[in-house]
Structure formats: C-alpha cells, structure tokens
Amino acid sequence: MISGVYANDENFLADLSQLENSISQVNKQISSGIRVNQASDDPSAVAPILAYQGQISEIKQVQMNLNSAQTEAQTADGALETASSLMDQLVSLGAEGASGTSSASARAVLGEKVQSIEQQLVAVANTSIGATYIFGGDSSSTPPYAFSWTSPEGVIASGRPTNTATIRDTDGNEIIPRLTAQQIFDVKDSTGAPAAGNIFQAAFALGTALLANNQPGIQSALDQVKAGSLQLQQSTTAYGNIENWIQQASQNATAHLNNITQALSAIRDSDIATDATQLSIDQTALQAALSAHASLNAKSLFSFLG
C-alpha cells in the first residue's frame, strides 16, 4: 500500500504501476473466475492443473464411450424383445401344424408364415444404428446375414466375425459390450454345424417340415424352436448384465469427474470474495496515492516556509 509523501516521481510511478497491475489481475480473476490464467500467475500450480485437466479429458472420453455402448445395448435389448415375440409366433405356428387335425394345405400356409418370420428374424439380426450393425462384432459395417430360403438354415452369413472390441470404465475394468448375431441366432458346434438353440436352423426346419406336410418333422422342429427361445432368453440376460455394468460404470465416472473437477477448482479457480476485498484495498490505495501526489505537487515553497 502507498502511504506518505513521495520523494520523487520515479517511486510514485513504480508503485502506481504495481497497483494498476494488481487491479487488472484481480479484475481478470473476478471476470473469468480463474486464478491461474497463465503460468506466471502461479508456477507451482501449473503441473497439477495440467494433470487434473488430462484426467478430466480421459474421464469424459470414457463417458462418451459408455453412453454410446449404452445406446447400443438398449437398442439390442429392444431388438431381442422383437425376436422373442417372433419366437413365440413360431411356437404357436408349430403347435398348430403339429396337430393331427391340420391339413396339408393348412400346413403349407403355416410354412409360408414361418418363412416370413425367419425373414423378420434376419432383419432383427441386422439391426443397425446408423451405419453400425450392432450384432456385427468387429465387422459392424457389414450386415451379418441375408435371408435365403434356398440356403441351409434359410440364411447366408456374411462371415464369422470376431468380437474383441471392449469398453473400459474409469478404474480400468473392461468388458465386451455386445454379442454377435452368430452368438444369438446361429449357434454352431466345434465342427461348424448348427448346435442346440440355433434359432435360424429351428425356424428353417419348422418351415421346411410344414411345407412338406411332415408331421413328425414339425414336432421335432417345434422342439428346436423351444430350444431357440431358451437361447434367446440367455442372450437377453447377457445384455441385461451388460447394461447394468455400463450403468454402474457411468455412475462411477460421474463421481470421479466431480471429485477431480473440485480438486482442479480448488487450485485453479479464484476466490471471488477474497478478490473483491483485494480489489477494494488496491483501489483505495490507488486513490490515496493519486491524492497524495496531487497534494504534494500543489504545494509551493511558501507552503513549507509558512
């Protein structure tokens, strides 16, 4: 603070400059809410500020990945609900066709309905969000299946994609957040043959038996459809677990982000009340200095002799 009478203008200008710089700095801190706007404001705070900012960027990226995975999992859950409804229809059609009172023509009509349902199941397997096929595994830019009743299982697979992409939470834990269409609809054994629970094979077998008026084949295919329904339930449960994991990871990420944001604020942000007090002190000192200097300059030799 400036007090007393200045011996010369150099001291006055130096102190005046210091006060004006302080006022400018405090005004900047009040308007921006930031105490450390540049490294020279507090060199010791630079390293922790950069570290906190880096952690915040990482957490926000994790949150974006989790949000994207959550959207995909929710879409998959809805798709599997549709598939479950279609499987219920297959069970109903199979039970009707297996009845001894069902005629060949009636079974043919039922078989055509089964064909249509398998085509809808293929559409479910090809569910996409934008250009991403959510059951495509690592080949998510390609539809996993095409409907073709003249092909084995009534479908043509685009391949057997791997499924290795993971998502990570803020603690470094990872999961694979999706199942492939093959895992859900086209389960195979170690030899590559359709395994129990293969939904496409079950629908194809049921439709083929109905069109052929093959009552024993219809009953056998109906058992396959029921096994396929169980497989679908297991897939739905898997997606439920994925959604729960993502939700918990998102909550943890939010908590971590809040903690780090508070730590960053404590070291970087300004204290408005303290700044306001300092501003008042500096402004008062500035006015006092200006008044003192003006008073000194107004005095003449006779003022001091009197």
pLDDT tens, position by position, 130-171:
999 999 999 999 999 999 999 999 999 998 889 999 999 999
Rounded to whole angstroms, the Cα distance separating 294 from 40 reads 34
Give the pLDDT confidence of 100-138 residue by residue, as tens digits. Answer: 999 999 999 999 999 999 999 999 999 999 999 999 999
pLDDT at residue 120, rounded to an integer: 98
pLDDT of residue 284: 66
3 domain-assigned: no
140 within 8 A of 134, measured Cβ to Cβ:
yes
Query: Does position 303 have pLDDT exceeding 60, yes or no?
Result: no
pLDDT over 60 (residue 278): no
Work out the mean pLDDT of the chain and round it to a whole number.
86
> Phi/psi at 107 (nearest 5 deg)?
-65, -35
Mean pLDDT of 186-196: 94
* The pLDDT value given to residue 290: 65
Higher pLDDT pick, 254 / 42: 254
pLDDT in tens, 18-29: 656 656 555 555
Residue 89: which domain range? Answer: 58-262
Of 55, 45, 120, whose CA–CA distance to 87 is shortest?
A: 120
- The CATH number covering residue 101 comes to 1.20.1330.10
What amino acid occupies position 50?
L
Assigned domain for 40 exists: no
286 or 97: which leads in pLDDT: 97
What was the pLDDT predicted at 270? Answer: 65
Number of neighbouring beta carbons within 10 Å of residue 196: 14
The conformation of residue 195, written as its DSSP 8-state character, comes to P
SS3 269: strand
Higher-pLDDT residue of 211 and 49 is: 211
**Mean pLDDT over residues 263-283, rounded?**
66
Q: How far apart are CA 147 and CA 122, in angstroms?
A: 6
pLDDT at position 17 is 61
Task: Give the tens place of pLDDT for each residue, 65-91.
Answer: 999 999 999 999 999 999 999 999 999
Report the number of distinct structural domains present in the chain.
1
- The answer to whether residue 211 scores a pLDDT higher than 50 is yes
Does residue 25 belong to any structural domain of this protein? no
Task: Determine, yes or no, domain membership for 18.
Answer: no
Alpha carbons within 13 angstroms on the beta-carbon side of residue 254 total: 8
| Residue 127 located in a structural domain | yes
Is the residue at 241 inside a domain? Answer: yes
At residue 293, the pLDDT reads 59
Can you give the pTM of this predicted structure?
Answer: 0.77
In a domain, 178, yes or no: yes
Query: Burial code of 15-38, b = ≥16 C-beta within 10 A, e = fewer?
Result: bbeebeebbebbebbbeeeebbee
Distance CA 75, CA 246 (A): 14
Instruction: Kindly provide the b/e burial profile for residues 269-279, where b requires at least 16 CB atoms within 10 angstroms of the residue's own CB.
Output: ebeeeebeebb
Q: Is residue 302 part of a domain?
A: no
Alpha carbon separation from 31 to 23, 40, 234, 261 (Å, rounded) = 12, 19, 57, 20
Give the pLDDT score at 160: 83
